[in-house]
Structure 1
Amino acid sequence: MNRNITTFFTINILLGTIIAISSNNWFLIWIGLETNTISILPILLSNNNRRNTEASIKYFIIQALAAAIILNSALINVWNNGSWIINTPMNNVSSITIIIALFFKLGIAPFHFWFPEVINGINLTNGLILTTWQKIAPTIILINNNNNNSNIIIICTTISIIIGSWNGLNQTQTRKIMAFSSINHLGWIILISMFNQNISIIMLLIYIIINTAIFINLIINNTTNISNTNKNNITNPWNASTLSILLLSLGGLPPLTGFINKFISLNTIINSNNTIISIPLIIGSLISLFFYLRISFNTNLTNFPQNSIILINLRNNNNNNINSILNTISITGIIITPIIINFIN
């Protein structure tokens, strides 16, 4: 795709998200979401192959369906209350359908069936966009509009945490693992927004930073399968160590940065006298940590026989600048975790 065209669509993606999260009018929110969806499709289709085209069509159908549900639900609310304002009290039908539509956009269970297949059908760069930037607008809208039907949100997000953890166990494709990881973490973020919206925003920011660093690492080494992660330790030891730290951080292993998400989540739920809800969250967190550990094991603790001459040549082709940036992010995360926890408390 032409560079100017790519820049144009990228700017539209940014504007669509900004319009959606900064508006208090349902019609403007719908326009922002549609602008975002229409602009991302040409970028997804830039790689012309069957799997990529199939994934793009699936993504378009789901996003168009969700946007249509949001617009129709907003129209029903306008007929009843005469207002497009997002804070206007909504009837149960409109509120439930809008929540379901946003769950479709986010890939929250039981509306997650499309997300892993779409992520697995596109390249790693587009997967990074779909699992980070494309999640911002629906998440912020849902956080600002979760006052009603709290039981539905709690049930769906809890199921999402369990399903995202359980289905990631038998995956070998790194893109599918990151897709189920996204389903799991967004369940945490949306659930905590029921109790404290500010903490939910902090969790979203931390998740985006860690997830972006992991995808950058995978893109640099073209790692699409768990079996390929082993070559990182041979060709790029520093990068392999960084990937392990980032994955364990995403899994919530203390004292890494991702532990903040799990710590403040459980602390918020327990302080709200909802200890029972924390039980499936802890179970899901432990299950998801298993497949993060499996990738880390394959990256650093397993070595296959290799030709020593090939090893020397490959090690001389390292991208030291990018490795230094990734290692700095990881080490900084380890250092600032206790500081952030003390600041929150």
Structure 2
Amino acid sequence: MNPYVLAILLSSLGLGTTLTFASSHWLLAWMGLEINTLAITPLMAQNHHPRAVEATTKYFLTQATAAAMILFASTTNAWMTGEWSINDLSNPIASTMFMTALALKIGLAPMHFWMPEVLQGLDLLTGLILSTWQKLAPFALIIQTAQTIDPSLLTLLGITSTLVGGWGGLNQTQIRKILAYSSIAHMGWMIIVVQYAPQLTLIALGTYIIMTSAAFLTMKASSTTKINTLATTWSKSPILTSTTALVLLSLGGLPPLTGFLPKWLILQELSKQELPITATTMALTALISLYFYLRLCYAMTLTISPNTTNSTTPWRTNTNQALFPLALFTVTALGLLPMTPTIMALTA
């Protein structure tokens, strides 16, 4: 892609998210979401491959549907209350419709069907943008309006997402699909606590972005997209393989890694709110997700591929990719847990 065009598209991504962050009017927020969608569409289709074009079309249709629902919900709320301010979402029908549209935008179950298929059709860097940056603007709107949305709806979306994210990833062999179901499960953890402690949602979103960035950049550095290719990475880069296994365990939420931090705080908050059944259900669904992370770790560190893989495997070749972002995200994804008191103090 032409570097000038790429710079314009990436700037538009930043502009759309910033516009949604800074807006207090429904139309401005909607405009920011639309700029985001239109900016990432050419990035998704840049490979000129039928699979990429299919993924781009699915993504565009899904996001257009969600944007139309947001516009309809805001118009309904303005018609009933006379207000276009985001903080005045007082009509229950409009708030439910709005939350459903945002759930469709970020891939919350049961509106998650587009996410694995779209992510599977993209290259790893565009998939990284879709899994991280594209979540920021919708979550800004969710946090602003969480107190006006039915708590039962948020709880249902959260539990369903963690269940679907865990079950869906069990039988996958494509790493991008596994990371898509991982995204769905993590979105459930964030949405379950947004009504009680929005700062915990921000902490969970931040740690999710760090861990997912480390995972995507690792797969990009080792040119890996399938589980059977993971078995050959040990011979190519033992240190990278070791850190990748730890990053995957961090995504699963095992202490003393960073991924344990949001799950621990969220379960603690649910217990404080006297929701023991919800907290227990969330903890059990985390075990389902942990299984396929352990499966990836097993394939990467404890097996050697017995046959030739279908993909091209670069053996011990020097990469020309920038490895500083990978090192930064990996170290952060592994060692941020001792900073928990500081993070809580900064977000309180």
TM-score w.r.t. structure 2 length? 0.92
- Identify if the C-alpha distance between structure 1 residues 320 and 301 changes in structure 2 by more than 3 Å, giving closer, same or farther: farther
Q: Secondary structure at the match of 2:225?
A: coil
Question: What residue number does 1:86 align with?
Answer: 86
Whole-Å separation in 1 of the counterparts to 2:38 and 2:320:
35
Taking structure 1 as reference, are residues 109 and 335 closer, same or farther at Cα in structure 2, changes over 3 Å only? closer
Give per-residue Cα distances to partners, 1:246-274, cap 9 Å, x unaligned. 10001101100001011111011111111
Which string of whole-angstrom CA distances, capped at 9 and with x for unpartnered residues, describes residues 182-205 of structure 1? 000011011111210011101101
Residue in 2 that maps onto 1:258: 259
* Residue of structure 2 equivalent to 1:276: 277
Does residue 63 (structure 1) correspond to residue 38 (structure 2)? The answer is no
Cα deviation code 1:84-134 (max 9, x no counterpart): 101114211111110110000011011001111111111111111110000
Kept in 2: contact 1:74–1:94 (CA 8 A): yes
Query: Is this contact kept in 2: 1:158–1:191, CA < 8 A?
Result: yes
Secondary structure of the 1:145 match is helix
* Pairwise CA distance, 1:335: 4.0
**What is the CA distance between 1:306 and its match in structure 2?**
9.4
Structure 1 partner of 2:248: 247
Who is 2:2 aligned against?
A: 2
Give the residue type in structure 2 aligned to 1:264. Answer: L
**After superposition, where does 1:332-343 map in structure 2 within 5 Å?**
333-341=333-341
Shift of 1:50: 0.8
Aligned twin of 1:110: 110
Report what 2:311 is aligned to. none
**What amino acid maps onto 2:339 in structure 1?**
I
Partners of 1:267 and 1:26 in 2: how far apart?
34
Determine helix, strand or coil for the equivalent of 1:69. Answer: helix
- Alignment correspondent of 2:209: 208
Residues 309-328 of structure 1 correspond to what in structure 2 (within 5 A)? 314-315=315-316, 317=318, 322=323, 326=326
Q: CA deviation at 1:319?
A: 6.7
Distance (Å, rounded) in 1 between the aligned partners of 2:122 and 2:332: 31
Does 1:152 find its partner at 2:168?
no
Q: 1:154 to 1:216 in 2, by over 3 A?
A: same
Contact 2:231/2:303 (CA < 8 Å) preserved in 1? yes
Contact 2:89 2:95 in 1 (8 A): no
Tell me how far apart the structure 2 counterparts of residues 318 and 233 of structure 1 sit (CA, whole Å). Answer: 16
Report what 1:24 is aligned to: 24
- Name the counterpart of 1:49: 49
Match of 1:310 in 2: none
Q: Is the 8 A contact 1:30 1:70 kept in 2?
A: yes
State the AA in 1 paired with 2:142.
L
Residues 325 and 19 (structure 1), Cα distance of their counterparts in 2 relative to 1, 3 Å cut:
closer
Q: Return the offset for 1:294.
A: 0.8
**1:181 lines up with 2:167 in the alignment:** no
Does residue 231 of structure 2 align to residue 230 of structure 1? Answer: yes
Please state how far the C-alpha of 1:32 moved relative to its aligned partner.
0.2
> How many residues are matched?
339
In 2, Cα distance between the equivalents of 1:280 and 1:116?
A: 24
Give, in whole Å, the separation in 2 of the partners of 1:284 and 1:341.
Answer: 26
Preserved CA contact (<8 Å) 1:143 1:197: yes
Instruction: Report the TM-score when normalising by structure 1.
Output: 0.93
Alpha-carbon separation, structure 1, partners of 2:83 and 2:65: 23
Larger deviation, residues 52-61 vs 79-88: 79-88
The Cα of 1:304 is off from its aligned counterpart by 3.9
Gaps of 5+ in 2: 309-313
2-structure distance, mates of 1:321, 1:3 = 17
Deviation at 1:293, TM superposition (A): 0.7
Do the aligned partners of residues 4 and 330 (structure 1) sit closer, same or farther apart at CA in structure 2, a change above 3 Å counting? Answer: closer
8 Å CA contact 1:162–1:280 kept in 2: the answer is no
User: What CA distance in whole angstroms lies between the structure 1 residues aligned with 2:341 and 2:288?
Assistant: 24
**Matched AA of 2:86:** I
Choose 335-344 or 103-112, whichever is displaced more: 335-344
CA contact (8 A) 2:77 2:94 kept: yes
8 Å Cα contact 1:143/1:190 also seen in 2: no
- Tell me by how many angstroms 1:317 deviates: 2.7
Q: 1:209 to 1:92 in 2, by over 3 A?
A: same
Q: 1:41 to 1:335 in 2, by over 3 A?
A: closer
Identity of aligned residues (%): 38
- State how far apart, in whole Å, the 2-side matches of 1:99 and 1:332 are: 32
User: How has the CA–CA distance of structure 1 residues 236 and 27 changed in structure 2, closer, same or farther, with 3 Å as cutoff?
Assistant: same
Distance 2:107 2:317 in 1: 41
With over 3 angstroms needed to count, the CA separation of the structure-2 counterparts of 1:343 and 1:81, relative to structure 1, is closer
Deviations 1:139-197 (A, max 9, x none): 12112111121111111111010000011000010000000000000110111112100
CA gap 1:139/1:197 in 2 versus in 1, 3 angstroms: same
Report the CA distance shift for 1:328/1:152 in structure 2 as closer, same or farther (over 3 A).
closer
Q: Note the residue ranges of structure 1 that are not aligned, 5 or more in a row.
A: 308-312
1:303-342 C-alpha deviation (Å, 9 max, x unpaired)? 24699xxxxx9336367972x7645654455444133157
